[in-house]
Amino acid sequence: MLTFETINELTLKVTCRGSDVLFTKAGAFIAGDSPSKNYRFEKVLLGPQESLARAALGSLIRRATGENMPLMKATFQGDSVTYYAGYGQHIVVYKLDYGEMISVESENILAFTKDCDYKVRFIGVGVMSQKGLATSTLTGKGKDAYVAVLSDGNPLVLSNVESRNTISVDPDAVICWIGQGSCDPAIKTDLNWKTFIGQASGESYTFEWSGGNPVTVIIQPSERAGGIRLSVD
């Protein structure tokens, strides 16, 4: 059994009881503490799926959509504590309920347990971010479905699960969104004549979740370079 917790906001502590498997971003391991070194690391060539066919297909889709990330598999054979980090970025830990899904940019994934089903799916057409039309998803399929994501700075968490408010977010600041099923945002544009004469506000595109689409959104206090551009279908 694996459990996740954060240390000083910047380090992920993974505690293993017995034998288990962890998937992390390659090179994320920084330290270990155990009676003997009862864990080992290996590169994941295709994907974390147990089926070779599914792993190969998943690898192909990730490469085609730009959602590919170098993965490492940690195999534990006994009680141990290991630590992981991502270049001093802040870390958010979330435990998924069964069937609950987190949609996250691949670059923001730090680690997840084998109780998470990992895949890439398409989220929209017409408007795209610098990462394309796809997002990585992790869905809880067991009782220990932990996910750790990275944030460039201390993150902001917004939820409309109880308030049923409308949440609007700059797509380049979004780390991930969490809910039952895909709960994908609507992509809203604010294009007018000022946009075409260089008088745009700089916030012409937003991700929007209405009150009828309950979700929890995690946002980082910085924006990715590149932004969103308009394309023609």
Identify the band that residue 123 occupies on the pLDDT scale cut at 50, 70 and 90: low
Class of the CATH domain delimited by 2-227: alpha beta
Burial of 197 (0-12, 13-18, 19+ CB in 10 A): exposed
DSSP 3-state of 203 = coil
pLDDT digits (tens, 9 = 90+) for 137-183: 899 999 999 999 999 999 999 999 999 999 999 888 999 999 887 78
pLDDT digits (tens, 9 = 90+) for 3-41: 999 999 999 999 999 999 999 999 999 999 988 899 999
Identify the band that residue 199 occupies on the pLDDT scale cut at 50, 70 and 90: very low
Beta-carbon contacts of 32 under 8 Å, excluding residues fewer than 6 positions away, are 39, 80, 81, 82, 83
For 140, the token pair is 């809880």
DSSP 3-state of 174 = strand
Q: Where are the domains of the chain?
A: 2-227
Look up the pTM and report it: 0.79
Share the mean pLDDT of the chain: 81
Name the residue among 200, 209, 206 with its Cα closest to residue 223. 206
Beta-carbon contacts of 91 under 8 Å, excluding residues fewer than 6 positions away, are 6, 9, 10, 11, 12, 85, 110, 148, 149, 150, 151
pLDDT at 226: 53
Name the residue among 144, 119, 139, 122 with its Cα closest to residue 131. 122
| C-alpha span between 193 and 182 (Å, rounded) | 34
| Longest CA span, the chain | 67
